[in-house]
Amino acid sequence: MSVTGIALILFLTFHGCMNVVALFSAEGYNMICEFLGANWYAVVATLGLAALAVIHIVYAFILTAQNRTARGDNRYEVATTVNAGKVEWASKNMLVLGIIVVLGLLLHLWNFWYNMMFAELVGAMPAISPTDGFGWIKETFSNPVFSVLYLVWLVALWFHLSHGFWSALQTLGLNGKTWFCRWKVIGLIYVTLLLLCFVVVVLAFWFGCAPSLCDGACC
C-alpha cells in the first residue's frame, strides 16, 4: 500500500508539472503529449500505472476489512486524541475519499486517455485530434460541470494524500519522535503545492485566463 502510494504520488508530480506547461505554451504542452502519445514506452508505462493503481485499491479494501474486523464493536468510538483534526479525519475516511478519487480518475480517463492515447491506438478520429492535448484541456475545462467535478475530485485527492504521504513513510519506518511531525508538515506542504498545480490549470482554462490562451494579447 505504501510503496504503490509513493509511486503514484511521484507520477502525480510529473503529471502536475506537465500540466503547468499548458498554462504558458500550447505548442510546448502538445510536444510533451506527442512524446508520450501512443508510443510503446508510454503504453508500457500506462499499463504499469494501471497495475499500481489496481494493487493500491485492492489493498485499500483488504486493509479496511482487516481493520474493521480487528476493531470489532469499537470501530465507531469517537477519537479523543489531541491530534484529532483534518489529518485524523482523513485517516478515518480514507476509503470514502479513495472511492471519490477512483470515480474522479474514471472521469479523467474518459475525458483524456480515451480521447487521446486510446483513440490514437485504435485509429479513431474524435472531434479534436488525439495528439492535441491542449485542445482537450481547453474543451474539457470550458465546461463548468466538468470543472466543478474536477475541483471536487482534487479536494478529495488533497485529503487522501495529506494523510497518505506521511502514513506511507511511517509504514516504511522513516519516522521517529522527531521526524514524525516533520514528515507531516513536509507532506502537507508538498501535497498542497502539488494539487495547486492541477487546480490552477482547471481554473485558468475554465475562466479563459491562461497565458497560453492569449495568443500574444493581454487576457
Q: DSSP assignment of 120-135, as one string?
A: HHHT---SS-TT-HHH
pLDDT over 90 (residue 154): yes
Alpha-carbon gap, residue 62 to 89, rounded angstroms: 20
Using one digit for the tens of pLDDT, what is the confidence trace for 41-90?
A: 999 999 999 999 999 989 988 988 888 788 765 554 545 444 444 446 76
Q: What is the pTM of this model?
A: 0.85
Which residues lie closer than 8 Å to 20 by C-beta, 6 or more apart?
A: 197, 200, 201
Left, alpha or beta for 208 (phi > 0: left; psi -120 to 50: alpha)? left
Using one digit for the tens of pLDDT, what is the confidence trace for 157-189?
A: 999 998 888 888 888 887 777 787 888 899 999
DSSP-derived letter for residue 28 is H
Alpha-carbon gap, residue 127 to 41, rounded angstroms: 26
Q: What is the pLDDT of residue 215?
A: 58
Q: What is the pLDDT of residue 81?
A: 45
